[in-house]
Structure 1
Amino acid sequence: MSLSEAGAATSQQIRLAAGEHDLAAVFVIRGAVFVAEQNVPVEEEWDLRDTEADHLLALHDGVPVGTVRMVVEQEGVGLLGRLAVLPRARGTGTGKALVLAVEERARERGLRSVELHAQTQALGFYEALGYTAHGEEFLDAGIPHLHMERDLR
């Protein structure tokens, strides 16, 4: 899947966030989903890893509606995180497109797998995309999570 592929009902584009305007959109979307909707404290939502991350931005008809970041966690492993889609774009395939775009970006960077910390309510979403849960449930910002991973080889 290309980072700029058209969706069925709307023109959907997934691209690397570039410049201040795109990064502002990334943080507005994350603030709306995590801070306002899920009550994650602001000080836990934004962190220093944002400066080293690849941020991807989803647009519908040119309007930002979703985002995800990938951090190279260790040699050969990318950490997918902060996947957020605005309510009006949920159910349109945007979340799936963002995950696939992270996988493509990881392959471009020569990574062998992608890991993530999934909210337990989202396990089925990630399992349908080939991710496998492992380890014990843990709390992140007061929300239950599980570690998941997908081998890209």
Structure 2
Amino acid sequence: MNALVGVDPVHCRPAFDAAGRAEHHRIRHEVFVTEQRLFPDSDVDANDARTDVVHVLGLHDGRPAGTVRLYPIGPGEWLGDRLAVLPEYRTAGIGAPLVRFAVAAAEARGGRLMGAHVQVANERFFHRLGWRTDGPVETYVGHSHVPMSIDLGAGLCPWLTG
């Protein structure tokens, strides 16, 4: 075992370099194309080419384990999407740090509100992280999702630091 006592094995960071971006896209492809079949060939879209998009890579003990993507959609408004965790890391606590990192990154960039289209099975997970449901179940990329959001800009909340 390579874990150190008292040291969190999870680390999230923007995927700025080519290697990090390749890992980010590899994880998304494995989860959304191969495993969940949400997209037929690729989940890459025009948002991936935006200069203001933040591609985030979640590492567990230094190994790429998950991703999330975020970008502004209007003045003070951000959208988080493409939250993906590889199956072998789903019990390793990667998801919450990825969501918290995305929220903090949007807030640090002047965001006041962040939204997401969350798979129905993950709605309670987002509620535990302080998000609220913003409407009925809707079809997003051909599957049932729940529109959710969280207010930003109030400084660090207890759930963000915990």
In structure 2, C-alpha distance between the alignment counterparts of 1:105 and 1:42, rounded to whole Å: 30
Alpha-carbon shift at residue 27 of structure 1 (Å) = 0.7
- From the two aligned structures, give the one with the greater strand fraction: 1
- Which whole-Å CA distance do the structure 2 matches of 1:56 and 1:14 have between them? 7
The percent of aligned pairs where both chains have the same amino acid is 34
Residues 58 and 64 in structure 1, CA contact (< 8 A), matched pair in contact too: yes
Query: Which of 16, 20, 23 matches 1:22?
Result: 20
The superposition leaves residues 20-46 of structure 1 with CA deviations (integer Å, 9 ceiling, x where unpaired) of: 111110111001111111112245621
SS at match of 1:114: strand
Q: RMSD across aligned C-alpha pairs, in angstroms?
A: 1.9
**Contact map agreement 2:133 2:149 (CA 8 A) in 1:** yes
Q: Deviations over 1:124-147 (max 9, x none)?
A: 010111111122321123210111
Separation in 2, partners of 1:7, 1:22: 27
Any unmatched runs of 5+ in structure 1? Answer: 1-5
Q: What's the TM-score, normalizing by structure 1?
A: 0.89
Cα distance 1:44–1:32, how it changes in 2: closer, same or farther (>3 A)?
Answer: closer
On the 8 A contact 1:44/1:141 being kept in 2, the answer is: no
Structure number with bigger Rg: 2
**Structure 2: how far apart are the matches of 1:100 and 1:10?**
15
Equivalence map 1:61-76=2 (5 Å): 61-76=61-76
The equivalent of 1:101 in structure 2 is: 101
Number of residues of Structure 1 aligned to a counterpart in Structure 2: 148
Check whether the contact 2:33–2:41 (CA below 8 A) recurs between aligned residues.
no
Structure 2: tracts of 5 or more residues without a match: 155-162
1:77 equivalent in alignment to 2:77: yes
List, as ranges, runs of 4+ consecutive aligned residues in structure 1 with deviation greater than 3 Å: 6-10
Please give the per-residue CA displacement for 1:64-103, whole angstroms capped at 9, x wherever unaligned: 0100000101110110100000011112221000000011
SS in 1 for 2:134: strand
Amino acid at match of 1:32: E
TM-score of the superposed pair, with normalisation by structure 2: 0.85
- Are the aligned partners of 2:15 and 2:55 in contact in 1 as well (CA < 8 Å)? yes
Equivalent residues in 2 for 1:119-138 (5 A)? Answer: 119-138=119-138
Q: Supply the AA of the counterpart residue of 2:133.
A: A
Change (3 A) 1:78 1:101: same
- What amino acid is aligned across from residue 50 of structure 1 in structure 2? D
